[in-house]
A and B are shown apart, each in its own frame.
Chain A
């Protein structure tokens, strides 16, 4: 099946720095990618939807200047957490979908961000 890869899988950074997480579709073209945030023992919270070549659509309550999303190609989307603070520590998961695949979502492995 289709594969989505995230990198890095785990990152630790100092407060105030920015962190970039990459999400790649390895064997298909992802017209739409989604970014989720997951708190411990909680469900997925959709942060934003990005379509290749256009601006991301952010969910209510998600700061677009804090969480910068770029979907520059059909196989790559990036999430940059700017000026990270400890409360941004979380598990970030991306997913991708391609038209014609029964609307199935393919998920990356997730990236755990710890801000010290």
Chain B
């Protein structure tokens, strides 16, 4: 069945460091891929998405490229800020399963000044 695997945290970085959070997926169909962010005490917000292979989603300096050959959707940011401290969830939506969503376990990021 469908699943999402993302790197376990927590991740602690200094401000302006480079960020990579790995995410790989398994899907029976051709899924859309998402990164959601959850700030402390809040619900989830969509950070970026990609709906087909080789698409690159980007937002707020974050990027992720839909790689079908490696079934990956790694999240990257060139220079993190303290305000990026949050939990990041990788997710997929698979039309072949009625657009059911599958989430990774979440990766907690803490950026220190």
Interface positions of A (Cβ within 8 A of B): 1, 6, 34, 41-44, 93, 95, 97, 102-110, 112
Contact = CB atoms under 8 A, between A and B. Distances in A.
A106 to B, nearest CB: 8
For the residues of B in contact with A, the DSSP-based class is: strand
Interface of B: 32, 34, 36, 41-46, 49, 51, 89, 91, 93, 95, 99, 101, 103-106, 108
B66 to A, nearest CB: 13
Contacts, number: 51
B43 A93 contact: yes
A105 B43 contact: no
B34 A41 contact: no
B45 A107 contact: yes
Contact of B43 (A41, A43, A97, A110): A110
9 contacts: A44-B44, A95-B44, A102-B93, A103-B93, A103-B99, A105-B34, A105-B91, A109-B42, A110-B42
